[in-house]
Amino acid sequence: MKALLKRGFNLLDSLFSRAFTPAWNPLYQLGALSFFYFWIVAVTGVYLFIFFETSISGAYSSIEQITHGQWYIGGVMRSFHRYASAAMGICVTLHVLREFAMDRYSGPRWFSWVSGIPLLWLLFASAIGGYWLVWDQQAQYIAILTAEWFDALPIMVDPMASLFLNESTLSDRFFSLLVFLHIGIPLALLLGMFIHIKRVTAPRSNPARGLAAGTLLAMLAVSLWRPALSQAPANLDMAVTEVGLDWVFLNPYPLINSWGPGNTWVLLVGLSTVLCLLPWMPSRRPKRTPVAVVDPDNCNGCGWCLADCPYEAVSMKEHDFKKGHKQSVVDPDLCVSCGICAGACPSSSPFRHVDELTTGISIPELHIKELLARTEASLAKLSTDQPRIMLYGCDHGSVVPDIQSSTVAAISMPCAALVPPAFVDYVLRQDLAEGVLISGCCEGDCFHRLGNTWVDQRFSMERMPVLRTRVPRERVRLRWLGAQGTRALQREVVEFQRELAEAPALIDLEDVSSG
């Protein structure tokens, strides 16, 4: 099931990236879009509350007055409130499915995954409470079924369904309680959303401006084309025999009606429990690799690894033996051995005057010295019939071993950000290859969240360690094509070789640096 979902999302990713560009791809910003929709719901909800009357007789009529009496703003506000809520529900659902499909819920990510499950319940409770406040036939239908659903719980003393026997049993205080809950539950949801991203480095809670603007325009168009309207007013003295349901949030109600309240509780609570336990369930994923290791002799306390770690696994402490200096510390419970810290370490340079390349921090799975040895050994085997290319790839991106050839050396690693910029400089300066290509996950969708972003910034000299200016940029390429882009990467390699063959010969970089 996970593999099928992943293939489906990879296909959608490619289509959306072509249609919107990677920077505006909504599938890469589902969490940020959920925050954005929440704020739309909050702002429009405040407006609606100003004109809403909290009484049995006034609730429906006040909503109708807002919708039709001031359609130029009230009707649009109600429609925005309605459609933004549905959009948030869809985004959250896709977000859960996508994180599951991409295997982004285990290890240190368990906190974000588990803390997100209660948010689903709060989101549905917030939305369902909003439907109640309209107090039309749909509200009557779900109110009665909700009462029967909660009455199935052994903790209920007085039957909740007795509130909805007829018109005389329902009081205005009930609507005051509904309004209180419809304000309180979203506030709890907002708090939970911030807890959800607490352990995420540089979380994205705002979508790209262009995507946000396009979303607002689309929502306005839908609101004018098909505004949110009420059904017939509720009447507890009459049974509701036919009602239209919103399938985004009200999908549990047909189950309650057909399966019964008790079975529905078992299904939803059981599903939530399984989702919470999912990060620790046996799976086919590889066993967890050893965590990053700090070498105090080569750690100068610069803090670059601390700044780049996507999982907040790195912190600083007083150096073990260098007085007045700091030293990196790795939390084994948070480290996933992505290697981004090793790529950030200034000691990870092949130009260091040491017999054996050592670094302040590295991962045992692929130590920097091993990466250098594999780079040199792979390039030494290449033919000179065509321009030679050193291809560094990511285990979660395009399958780079499939692209290896007599003129292309390929090395795959946990994250493309493990490659220090100095390695690119070294490969070109030592004439080991004519070009270097680094590939990985799709732009904006790094498996380790920030790997390709950090590489982009290092190579554009916006983030330390930088790729030095003496390196000819025309001989370096970064391509973020993802697992679905292996064929595209093959074509990119062929095109890169063609351009390198037509390019002028490399001048002596040593002369350039000294000049």
Under a CB-based contact definition with an 8 Å cutoff, are residues 109 and 279 in contact?
A: yes
Under a CB-based contact definition with an 8 Å cutoff, are residues 262 and 152 in contact?
A: yes
Point out the least confidently predicted range of 37-41, 188-192, 431-435, 482-486. 482-486
The Cα–Cα gap between 396 and 416 comes to 9
Under a CB-based contact definition with an 8 Å cutoff, are residues 355 and 346 in contact?
A: no
This prediction has a pTM of 0.88
pLDDT at 509: 44
Residues 452-460: what's their mean pLDDT? 94
Residues 468-483: what's their mean pLDDT? 93
Which residue shows structure tokens 């603007």? 213
pLDDT at 285: 60
Give the pLDDT confidence of 33-80 residue by residue, as tens digits: 999 999 999 999 999 999 999 888 889 999 999 999 887 799 999 999
Beta bridge partners of 476: 436
The Cα–Cα gap between 224 and 77 comes to 11
> Which residue from 3, 269, 255 is spatially nearest to 118, judged by alpha carbons?
269
The Cα–Cα gap between 213 and 208 comes to 9
pLDDT at 32: 94
Q: Confirm or reject CATH 3.40.50.2000 for domain 2-139+171-241, answering yes or no.
A: no
Three-state SS for 477?
strand
Three-state SS for 41?
helix
Question: CB-side exposure of 392: number of CA atoms within 13 Å?
Answer: 28
Q: What confidence tier does 357 reach under pLDDT thresholds 50, 70, 90?
A: confident
Residue 12 has pLDDT above 50, yes or no: yes
Residue 52 structure tokens: 């809403």
> Which residue from 107, 113, 90, 94 is spatially nearest to 247, judged by alpha carbons?
90
The Cα–Cα gap between 392 and 389 comes to 10
Three-state SS for 409?
strand
Structural domain boundaries in the chain = 2-139+171-241, 293-514
Residue 498 structure tokens: 């063609």
Beta bridge partners of 310: none
Residue 288 has pLDDT above 70, yes or no: no
pLDDT at 236: 86
Which residue shows structure tokens 């925005």? 80
25-60 burial string, b = 16+ CB within 10 Å, else e? bbbbbbbbbbbbbbebbeebbebbeeebebbbeebb
pLDDT at 511: 47
Residues 507-514: what's their mean pLDDT? 46
Q: What confidence tier does 403 reach under pLDDT thresholds 50, 70, 90?
A: very high
Residue 321 has pLDDT above 90, yes or no: no
Q: Is 444 left (phi over 0), alpha (psi -120 to 50) or beta?
A: left
Residues sharing a CB contact under 8 Å with residue 462, sequence separation 6 or more, in sequence order: none
In whole angstroms, how large is the CA radius of gyration of the chain?
Answer: 29
Sheet holding 476-480, edge to edge: 408-413, 389-394, 435-440, 476-480
Under a CB-based contact definition with an 8 Å cutoff, are residues 422 and 349 in contact?
A: yes
The amino acid at residue 231 is: Q
The Cα–Cα gap between 228 and 209 comes to 26
- What share of the chain has pLDDT > 90, as a percent? 69
Residue 400 structure tokens: 């780079």
pLDDT at 284: 62
Residues sharing a CB contact under 8 Å with residue 427, sequence separation 6 or more, in sequence order: 375, 379, 390, 433, 436
Under a CB-based contact definition with an 8 Å cutoff, are residues 334 and 112 in contact?
A: no
154 vs 500: which has the higher pLDDT: 500
Residues 143-158: what's their mean pLDDT? 84
Point out the least confidently predicted range of 29-43, 101-115, 158-172, 416-430. 158-172
226 vs 244: which has the higher pLDDT: 226
Q: What confidence tier does 290 reach under pLDDT thresholds 50, 70, 90?
A: confident
Residue 350 structure tokens: 């092949």
What is the dihedral angle through the alpha carbons of 276, 277, 278, 281, rounded to the nearest 10 degrees? 180
Q: What confidence tier does 507 reach under pLDDT thresholds 50, 70, 90?
A: low
Cα angle 260, 266, 268 (rounded to 5 degrees) comes to 100
385 vs 202: which has the higher pLDDT: 385
Residues 445-461: what's their mean pLDDT? 93
Q: What confidence tier does 107 reach under pLDDT thresholds 50, 70, 90?
A: confident
488 vs 509: which has the higher pLDDT: 488
- What share of the chain has pLDDT > 70, as a percent? 96
Give the pLDDT confidence of 415-436 residue by residue, as tens digits: 999 999 999 999 999 999 999 9
Residue 241 has pLDDT above 80, yes or no: no
Q: How far is CA 93 from CA 303, 311, 387, 445, 447, in A?
A: 37, 24, 47, 18, 19
Q: How far is CA 505 from CA 152, 226, 298, 386, in A?
A: 79, 63, 37, 13
pLDDT at 161: 74
Residue 182 has pLDDT above 60, yes or no: yes
Torsion sign across C-alpha atoms 464, 465, 471, 472: negative
Residues 488-513: what's their mean pLDDT? 77
Find the distance separating the first CA and the last CA of the chain, reported in whole Å.
59
- In this structure, the chain runs to a length of 515
Mean of all residue pLDDT scores within the chain: 90
The Cα–Cα gap between 264 and 245 comes to 18
